[in-house]
Structure 1
Amino acid sequence: MAFKGTVFKKIKKTVPLNALYYVIIYVLEGEIYMIKDIYPREKYLRKIRPFYHSDVIKVITGIRRCGKSCILQAIMNELTSHGVSKNQIIYIPLDRRGYKNIRTPEALENKIESELGEEALYYLFVDEVQNVRGFESVIQAYAEEGFSVFLTGSNSYLLSDEISTKLTGRYLNFETYPLDFLEYLEMKKYFNKQIHSDIYIEFEEYILNGGLPKSLEFDDVSTRQTYTRGIISEIFEKDVKTRKRITNVPVYERVQSFILNNYAAPFSLINLLECLEKEGYKTKATTVRGYIEDLKKAKIIYECNRFDLKSKKSLKREQKYYLADLAIYFAMNTDNRLSFGPSLENIVYLYLSSQDYQISIGKIGKLECDFILRNKKGDYAYVQVAYTLQGEDLKATERIKEREYRPFREIRDSYPRYIISLDRFCDQQEGVKHINAIDLFLGKEVL
């Protein structure tokens, strides 16, 4: 825990604990203090920062182990660095030793009350809040008293209708994702990890390794994949199985495998049901839909629906599912060969989502535009994602370019159009801006 509101005169020693944070040992007036030095994920902190002192409840969601707890710690560190007293911060990590016996609203309230003094404003941080069944009434009461409340927890609960009803609209949800490519590189630099001189080789490693922050602690791919498989098992046991009481585990696991192995591809429920039937699994469409919904709530996958540009209607069929982290796919499969097309599309989707774009898949007659984007101002843009526009010969190159440019010709409005690829040299024609994907991820290009 940070020592809040204190300006330390001298740093004695920095001790690395793991890839997520260091402990910095300070000396002040002859006494030794310790504070966690967290890698600051500024893209999320800047979204939450305007609400630091607000009584609106801040709910931080995202797949397990994507770094939500460290974001809480970074906020606490930032508050203390700006003069907030340690007596004003109440931190309750409900999954840690010393706090696991807090299971009822009464026990939670008693713990909070035991931390109170005479301060005018308190900052309440509760990590893994779903461990207390019925916590909403307690949290709501403290928010109404003016506390600034920050929560993290199981996505399957925090995203349910129950919490939205019980907190009566007095909360904001801040979606967090595993590290994007820029954060991945910055965290490696922050903790003195070696970065390959060829950025494209580093990007291939990022695809395989994924962006789960703690995975940077491990130096080989197999260990990282073992860690990722453990996270998927943890999500199933804690967020899915216990909450939904799934009895037909083999069917659930087969549905999960099907979705993971067909990421970034058009999804057909009929095809999945036929596949299950051929393999001898008996189930209903409603059951399969429920399992997919569980995967979405656990933040293992994200759904992207189609939008028909001619009828101007959203289509609830042939949607695509994108993985929260590509390491999930590679950890759950023995084949580690890269498929750059779907992988790049998945990473672009996550990057754009983390930039707060509303995203749809564009349908234009029989043609498809990979993404239709809408920003906070209501402006639109159209995006095609391709590994490369270059084929093995001139004719192949022409076919690829025709495939990628053709959907844009069918769009009648004047909003910007982009092609995102890994080509080192960009091809600009027909008013379409061609962007190198790595330059986009590193902030050298913007949409």
Structure 2
Amino acid sequence: MMLKPAESLRNRPLYLNRLIAFQDTEPVKVVTGIRRCGKSSLLKLMARHLRENGVEEQQIIFINFESMEFRNYSAEQIYVYVKERTPSGKRVYLFFDEIQRIPEWQDAINSFRVDLDCDIYVTGSNAYLLSSEYATYLAGRSVEIKMLPLSFSEFLDFHGYTVQERNSPTGEKRKRMVDQDGESYDPQELFEAYVRFGGMPGVADVGLDTDKALALMDGIYSTVVVRDILEREKRRGQRQLTDAELLRKIIMFLADNIGNSTSITSIGNTLMSENLLNKDRRGKPAVQTLQAYIAALLESYVFYEIKRFDVKGKEYLRTLGKYYIVDIGLRNYLLGYRDVDTGHILENIVYFELLRRGYDVAVGKVGNKEVDFIATNATEKIYYQVTESMNEPTTRERELAPLRLIQDNYPKIVLAGNCDNPVTQDGIKIVKVIDFLLES
């Protein structure tokens, strides 16, 4: 099956609406996320929105610091560049893409805030952008828009598919995917494509061709590792993380263990026991070394860490968190595509969908049992179990048991890849993963 390539600039309303909500407000709008997840396009979408709503071209200044034109600019030079192009007596809209490449960039941003009538939007591919050093300059004066690769719904949209509902002969509502030529596809078929290729927007540009997709992922991986991890300490003027081989082994370990309870000690022990360390290395890596490399991966948005929460004790636990990879296509690039980890792959996809929907997410501990996710926001709390199938009685009982132990009245949901009978049981809703991902 060949999906159709996307247009050069596709809408991302989830994120664009968040930017628009803060338009012409004081905070600096900071768009963060892994490289190539669509941050640059989001800034272009915002600039287009401004033009369509009466903002003149001269009021928009857009600088991409990946361009050679600005490679050696200092913060002072950026300040002069913008000042020379600022129209007199009008508000200016400043867009700075990958601004972390400019040393002391925050000095320029702070000066623009003080000296100009401006609305500022920046992107960065490293959480260092919002570190304590940054906070001292703009404490309380910035808002973060956290951007992720495409959701399943966005994936369908980028490839020209629409979701239609129809009533089955039994009266149930069934979904089908229809392409631009009117051809119909089963949702499972397109979900399998999403699981294989992931949600990096660039895949929509090259089409779902395995070789092209792998080449794209290789470029993303190399750029993240080199620019956002191995060079990051140099930019800070601190000791560099220099062991590219150790970094890759840690990445491979975490990618292979998404959804598993993991500690720094267990990573070090595994690297030693499986002979994954260089032979000339003496002993396992120090805990501090592993922590530094994992922190770099978290800062570069390659992996996300999720903490465990004791439901009965109502407190976060310090040990045995879990890691999920930002894009399942990137995991397939690293490990090769395999369908033996379906349960953890579904967990990975659901975790990031919950983040997209604005929830804080934790793993739940209930006695000696575990709830995959506790999703909370200002007004809601929802408990989720995620499983490959709910068709076997033993599996059904295993997934329902932890939720039955929770005594409060918040919603409890099992998300299943396969389920012949998705009904409510003991007050616990059973929902197919695809239906959950396609909820509006």
Band of TM-score, shorter chain: 0.7 to 0.9
Mapped partners of 1:236, 1:197: distance in 2? 38
User: In 1, are the aligned partners of 2:60 and 2:94 still within 8 Å (CA)?
Assistant: yes
Per the alignment, residue 70 of structure 2 pairs with 99
Per the alignment, residue 389 of structure 2 pairs with 388
Per the alignment, residue 56 of structure 1 pairs with 27
Per the alignment, residue 415 of structure 2 pairs with 420
Q: Could you list the per-position Cα deviations for residues 336-374 of structure 1 after superposition, in whole angstroms to 9, with x for gaps in the alignment?
A: 335221111110000000111011100011000111111
2:348 to 335, 341, 346: 346
Q: Could you list the per-position Cα deviations for residues 295-320 of structure 1 after superposition, in whole angstroms to 9, with x for gaps in the alignment?
A: 10000011110000121110121111
Mapped partners of 1:417, 1:305: distance in 2? 19
Deviation at 1:161, TM superposition (A): 2.1
Q: 1:366 to 1:415 in 2, by over 3 A?
A: same
Per the alignment, residue 360 of structure 2 pairs with 358
User: In 2, are the aligned partners of 1:156 and 1:294 still within 8 Å (CA)?
Assistant: no
Q: How does 1:54-203 map to 2 (within 5 A)?
A: 54-101=25-72, 103-144=73-114, 145-189=116-160, 197-203=185-191
SS at match of 2:388: coil
Mapped partners of 1:248, 1:388: distance in 2? 41
Per the alignment, residue 200 of structure 2 pairs with 212
Per the alignment, residue 174 of structure 2 pairs with none
Q: Does 1:226 align with 2:196?
A: no
2:317 to 311, 315, 318: 315
2:251 to 256, 266, 269: 256
Q: Could you list the per-position Cα deviations for residues 227-257 of structure 1 after superposition, in whole angstroms to 9, with x for gaps in the alignment?
A: 1122111101101101131133322221111
What TM-score, normalized to structure 1? 0.86
Q: Does 1:274 align with 2:269?
A: yes
Mapped partners of 1:335, 1:91: distance in 2? 39
Percent of aligned pairs sharing the same letter: 30
Structure 2 alignment gaps of length 5 or more: 163-178, 234-239
Mapped partners of 2:160, 2:48: distance in 1? 20
User: In 2, are the aligned partners of 1:88 and 1:123 still within 8 Å (CA)?
Assistant: yes
Per the alignment, residue 438 of structure 1 pairs with 434
**What is the root-mean-square deviation of aligned Cα atoms in Å?**
2.0
User: In 2, are the aligned partners of 1:126 and 1:152 still within 8 Å (CA)?
Assistant: yes
Mapped partners of 1:339, 1:255: distance in 2? 19
Q: Could you list the per-position Cα deviations for residues 6-30 of structure 1 after superposition, in whole angstroms to 9, with x for gaps in the alignment?
A: xxxxxxxxxxxx95644xxxxxxxx
1:408 to 403, 406, 412: 403
Q: How does 1:364-383 map to 2 (within 5 A)?
A: 364-377=366-379, 379-383=380-384
Deviation at 1:408, TM superposition (A): 1.3
Q: Could you list the per-position Cα deviations for residues 375-430 of structure 1 after superposition, in whole angstroms to 9, with x for gaps in the alignment?
A: 222x211111111101xxxxxx2211110111112111111101111235413210
Deviation at 1:322, TM superposition (A): 0.7
User: In 2, are the aligned partners of 1:424 and 1:436 still within 8 Å (CA)?
Assistant: no
Q: Could you list the per-position Cα deviations for residues 60-81 of structure 1 after superposition, in whole angstroms to 9, with x for gaps in the alignment?
A: 0011000000000000111111
Aligned letter for 1:115? R
SS at match of 1:98: helix
Q: Could you list the per-position Cα deviations for residues 93-134 of structure 1 after superposition, in whole angstroms to 9, with x for gaps in the alignment?
A: 111243334x20111011101211214211100011112100
Deviation at 1:48, TM superposition (A): 1.6
User: In 2, are the aligned partners of 1:88 and 1:119 still within 8 Å (CA)?
Assistant: no
Q: Could you list the per-position Cα deviations for residues 35-81 of structure 1 after superposition, in whole angstroms to 9, with x for gaps in the alignment?
A: xxx21101111212111111210000011000000000000111111
Deviation at 1:270, TM superposition (A): 2.2
Structure 1 alignment gaps of length 5 or more: 1-17, 23-37, 391-396
Q: 1:193 to 1:108 in 2, by over 3 A?
A: farther
User: In 1, are the aligned partners of 2:40 and 2:123 still within 8 Å (CA)?
Assistant: yes
Mapped partners of 1:239, 1:71: distance in 2? 20
Mapped partners of 2:69, 2:216: distance in 1? 25
Per the alignment, residue 41 of structure 1 pairs with 12
Mapped partners of 1:424, 1:240: distance in 2? 45
SS at match of 2:335: coil
User: In 2, are the aligned partners of 1:87 and 1:119 still within 8 Å (CA)?
Assistant: no
Mapped partners of 2:77, 2:151: distance in 1? 38
Mapped partners of 2:128, 2:383: distance in 1? 34
2:228 to 235, 239, 250: 239
Mapped partners of 1:83, 1:190: distance in 2? 32
Q: 1:222 to 1:338 in 2, by over 3 A?
A: farther
Q: Could you list the per-position Cα deviations for residues 131-182 of structure 1 after superposition, in whole angstroms to 9, with x for gaps in the alignment?
A: 2100111111212343100001231431322212222331111100000000
Deviation at 1:222, TM superposition (A): 2.3
Per the alignment, residue 324 of structure 1 pairs with 326
Q: 1:119 to 1:186 in 2, by over 3 A?
A: farther
What TM-score, normalized to structure 2? 0.88
Mapped partners of 1:322, 1:123: distance in 2? 36
Aligned letter for 2:205? E
Aligned letter for 1:359? V
User: In 2, are the aligned partners of 1:156 and 1:240 still within 8 Å (CA)?
Assistant: no
Aligned letter for 2:374? I
Per the alignment, residue 167 of structure 2 pairs with none
SS at match of 1:91: strand
Mapped partners of 2:12, 2:368: distance in 1? 41
Mapped partners of 1:100, 1:248: distance in 2? 26
Mapped partners of 2:160, 2:336: distance in 1? 30
Mapped partners of 1:247, 1:100: distance in 2? 23
